[in-house]
Amino acid sequence: MKKNLFASIIAMLTVGMTLTSCSDDKTPIVPQTAVSLEIPANLENVDLSGAKVVMTNVATQSAHVVSSDNLFQKNGNKYQVLINDLEEGTYNISISGHLDFTLNNVAGQKDFEITSENVKISETSAAVQMVVSTFTAQGGFVISEIFFTGTSTAEGKSYSGDQYIRITNNSDVTLYADSIAVLESAFLTTQKQEYTPDIMSTDFSVQACYMIPGTGKSVPVEPGASLTLAVNAINHTAEQPNSIDLSQADFEFYDESSNANFTDPDGKAPNLDKWYCYTATIYQFHSRGFNSMAIAKMKATKEDWLANNVYDAKYLFVFGDFSREMTKKGIYKVPNSWILDGVNLSVESVREWNVLDASIDAGWTYCGKVDKDETRFNKAVIRKQDANGKYVDTNNSTNDFTPEAAASLVKN
């Protein structure tokens, strides 16, 4: 169980503030100095807490400290604090604090401390501009790996119980994974149909939606850290030596069932909240990768989403001498605006189209070049990393992913 393990770091600053310079020199006093703090523009719903401004007079080494949150006035993407009766002079300024925000709809947090040295403050220059530049808050959660093929056993059979998907916080701020859902496309990339209505540019049609539960800030993920979401979060190597120990996975796709034909082992990992699934049998990823996958921040309540996000699509089905207008009834949809990342999966020999809008994924990736390719086992699609270790995310999985990569959790 992933607890909120993020330790809030409280900046411990030196306490030389008792030393106050008291001079009779006629150093002019600046009645009001405005210190403004600019935070990265792409953060939304920013909330500053534990903020502290320390203005140290270079000449006297006296420090002026403001640490009351309510003195920081929010104005757009800026905070401003007014400091009264400051001696004119040169100051070293340091601002630290804690930011809570949403980044691309995902809740996040970050501590910061920025400094600026030798800032001259006078009556004519009583405004100080500070920019939070210690992080850029670029990126967010990405799908870093999908292991949908399963492993192969010593007997040459496929073993699909060890499928998993990993999502990684690709930003430099801590993000919360609460309410992020794993979505599987309702349409196959290997079967193109002209669906009416065609909602692909605005919504993603899904056949499975499993959401990470939480109260909003239950599942913090530090920058660069990943969550492993396993189809069965158990130690598979006990039964299947070539497989994976997924008992430490962060979440599990658990399928509660009363039918003895469909028993899903319930490992220790917390279960995803199964909002919707097209089948009452056991859920698993398409082991050849015919469905596209996405992650989305669910912005509606379960009841609301279930009640209001379903539509029917018509299409012309042609098979041999059979040609019929068909209805695919009850397709759930998730607005593209909720989607954090998506990956089209397919197989070259049978691929027909992408089922995610190009703004989410303009390309596609794969394991196996022909249908039922037996060489695909033990392989995954893994997002590429740049020189800094950041995952590449150009919204084009052809470019961003390494197809047929050795699955990161499979030994050997």
By CB under 8 A, residue 325 contacts another protein: yes
By CB under 8 A, residue 139 contacts another protein: no
Residue nearer to another protein on the CB measure, 282 or 410: 282
| 254 contacts 271 by C-beta, under 8 angstroms | yes
Shortest approach of another protein to residue 257 CB, angstroms?
Answer: 6
By CB under 8 A, residue 280 contacts another protein: yes
Binding another protein (rule: CB under 8 A), the pick from 71, 282, 405, 410 is 282
Residue nearer to another protein on the CB measure, 93 or 186: 186
Distance CA 3, CA 267 (A): 17
By CB under 8 A, residue 301 contacts another protein: no
Q: Considering only residues 143 through 172, tell me which ones interact with another protein, judged by CB under 8 A.
A: 150, 153, 155-161
CB count, 10 Å around CB of 357?
18
Shortest approach of another protein to residue 41 CB, angstroms?
Answer: 38
Please choose, from the candidates 193, 227, 148, the residue with its C-alpha nearest in 3D space to the C-alpha of residue 401: 148
Binding another protein (rule: CB under 8 A), the pick from 247, 396, 398, 402 is 247
Distance CA 186, CA 112 (A): 43
Q: Considering only residues 201 through 240, tell me which ones interact with another protein, judged by CB under 8 A.
A: 232, 234-235, 238-240
85: left (phi over 0), alpha (psi -120 to 50) or beta: left
Segment (H or E) for 96: strand 89-103
Matching residue, tokens 């379960």: 302
By CB under 8 A, residue 41 contacts another protein: no
Shortest approach of another protein to residue 228 CB, angstroms?
Answer: 17
Of 130-138, 219-227, 323-331, 343-351, the window that binds another protein (rule: CB under 8 A) is 323-331
Q: How many CA atoms lie within 13 A of 346 on its CB side?
A: 21
Of 87-95, 258-266, 341-349, 381-389, the window that binds another protein (rule: CB under 8 A) is 258-266
Shortest approach of another protein to residue 268 CB, angstroms?
Answer: 7
Distance CA 137, CA 161 (A): 36
Residue nearer to another protein on the CB measure, 27 or 247: 247
Both tokens assigned to 346: 């397919």
Residue nearer to another protein on the CB measure, 128 or 183: 183
By CB under 8 A, residue 310 contacts another protein: yes
Shortest approach of another protein to residue 238 CB, angstroms?
Answer: 8
Three-class DSSP category at 18 = helix
Instruction: Give the count of residues interacting with another protein (CB under 8 A).
Output: 60
Please choose, from the candidates 178, 106, 91, the residue with its C-alpha nearest in 3D space to the C-alpha of residue 137: 106
Please choose, from the candidates 83, 8, 86, 77, the residue with its C-alpha nearest in 3D space to the C-alpha of residue 37: 77
Our measurement of the distance from residue 106's CA atom to the centroid of its chain's CA atoms, rounded to an integer in Å, reads: 7
By CB under 8 A, residue 256 contacts another protein: yes
Shortest approach of another protein to residue 370 CB, angstroms?
Answer: 16
DSSP class of 398: H
Our measurement of the distance from residue 114's CA atom to the centroid of its chain's CA atoms, rounded to an integer in Å, reads: 26
Please choose, from the candidates 99, 107, 183, the residue with its C-alpha nearest in 3D space to the C-alpha of residue 141: 107
Shortest approach of another protein to residue 182 CB, angstroms?
Answer: 15
By CB under 8 A, residue 370 contacts another protein: no
Torsion (CA) 198, 201, 203, 209 in degrees, nearest 10: 100
Q: Which residues contact another protein (rule: CB under 8 A)?
A: 150, 153, 155-161, 232, 234-235, 238-240, 247, 255-261, 263-268, 273-282, 284, 302-303, 306-307, 310, 312, 314, 316, 318, 320-330
